[in-house]
């Protein structure tokens, strides 16, 4: 699946987490926790190839947050965390919250 500009989408993570994305046209890239040193190189490659959206399993998103941040600053790619089969750690919501706070200038999700 690609957006209206024909930019592809990808999912990076463990086999069981990313393979279902293939059913909706998202290209899966399998990286296990034991093999995660390839992550930064792969994410940079996808950004340079003009992928519009890259879904990243949370364990990679959290571990390589500085890499994700630098890619987000330099390339027009949306990097979104997704939970693994064991569930989420809250990194996805925290990322969305921080992005919205930067865009709006305040934490609109704050509970009063």
With a cut of 80, say whether residue 106 has pLDDT above it: no
Number of Cβ within a 10 Å radius of residue 19:
13
* Domain parsing of the chain, residue ranges: 9-104
**pTM: predicted TM-score of the whole model, two decimal places:** 0.76
Give 26-71 pLDDT, tens digit per residue: 999 999 888 888 999 999 999 999 999 999 999 999 999 999 999 9
Summarised one tens digit per residue, pLDDT across range 71-105 is 989 999 999 999 887 655 565 555 555 555 555 56
Tell which CATH architecture fits domain 9-104. Answer: 3-Layer(aba) Sandwich (3.40)
Distance CA 110, CA 97 (A): 9
């Amino acid at each position: 699946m690609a957006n209206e500009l024909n930019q592809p989408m990808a999912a990076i993570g463990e086999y069981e987490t990313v393979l279902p994305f293939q059913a909706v046209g998202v290209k899966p890239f399998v990286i296990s926790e034991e093999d995660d040193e390839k992550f930064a190189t792969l994410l940079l490659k996808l950004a340079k190839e003009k992928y519009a959206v890259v879904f990243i399993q949370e364990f990679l998103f959290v571990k390589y947050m500085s890499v994700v941040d630098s890619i987000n600053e330099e390339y027009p790619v949306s990097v979104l965390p997704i939970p693994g089969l064991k569930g989420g750690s809250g990194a996805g919501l925290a990322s969305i919250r921080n992005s919205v706070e930067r865009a709006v200038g305040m934490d609109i999700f704050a509970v009063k």
